[in-house]
Amino acid sequence: MFRPNHLKSVIAAGEPALGVWLQLGEPSIAEIASLAGYDFLILDNEHGPASLPQTVHSMRAAQAGKATVMVRAPGQDPDYLKRILDAGAEAIMVPMVETAEQARAVVAACRYPPAGRRGYSAPTVRASGYGADPDYAAKANDQLFICVQIESDKAAAQAQEIAAVDGVDLVFIGVADLSGSIGLMGQPGRPEVDAQIRKAEAGVRAAGKPLGTIPRPGHSMVELAAEGYRLLAGIADSGALRAAFTADVAAFAPAKRKG
């Protein structure tokens, strides 16, 4: 259902936004996370198992709180982007964007004409309240938040051109895949990876666009916010649950030993 984009307002005000990765596709977790006060939720359909109907249920659940619903697409397929926007995604994260041409194609797939080529069925889709908001199509291009991910050394070299594309609201540096692209998978704290990150940062800032990322060694969420990053997402639902369950089992271990 259409509503003002909280995340876009936070970023426009120059404030850092805090989000969480939701990979399990469970609507109740989206509801809990939104009520907890996150600025945005990333429904991760790149690495998570959720179907489109499950994603819609999570969108509905998230509207219990203020959190903006950001869907990470599994790729750059314009047909998928059209469907997830019609379903009510308030923000889109698109992985592995390596050129300005790819970024322009993403934006075009997400915007109604004349700014893009998104297919029109506004009076019938969930995004407009199934037609309850007759002005949805007129507002959709401005309200949608489009985030593209730089996740390779090739993309880092093209960062300024990617960020400069009209319609790209924010560039998210994916440090895990970026480290893998230069043969250092799982080592985002290495100096070689940091050099690629700094290259990408410089390009995005030169284009005047805000940055997003995840924490890495030596750069906590708070420290990244102080560095000027505006969109930050650290924990994932699966990891948070695993940590809580592991701690619970560990806390009960003395009772097991006594037995």
Catalytically annotated residues: 47
Q: Are 121 and 35 in contact (CB under 8 A)?
A: no
Instruction: Please report, for residues 129, 133, 225, 259, the alpha-carbon distance to residue 218 in angstroms, rounded to integers and kept in the order given.
Output: 44, 46, 13, 43
Give dist(CA 197, CA 209) in Å, integer.
Answer: 15
Tokens 């080529």 belong to residue: 117
Q: Are 122 and 134 in contact (CB under 8 A)?
A: no
Beta-carbon contacts of 43 under 8 Å, excluding residues fewer than 6 positions away, are 22, 25, 30, 50, 55, 58, 59, 69, 70, 71, 72
Tokens 């990150």 belong to residue: 197
Per-residue b/e over 161-197, b at no fewer than 16 CB within 10 Å?
Answer: ebbbbebbbbbbbbbebbbbbbebeebbeeeebbebb
Q: Are 102 and 150 in contact (CB under 8 A)?
A: no
For residue 58, report the phi and psi dihedrals to the nearest 5 degrees. Answer: -70, -35
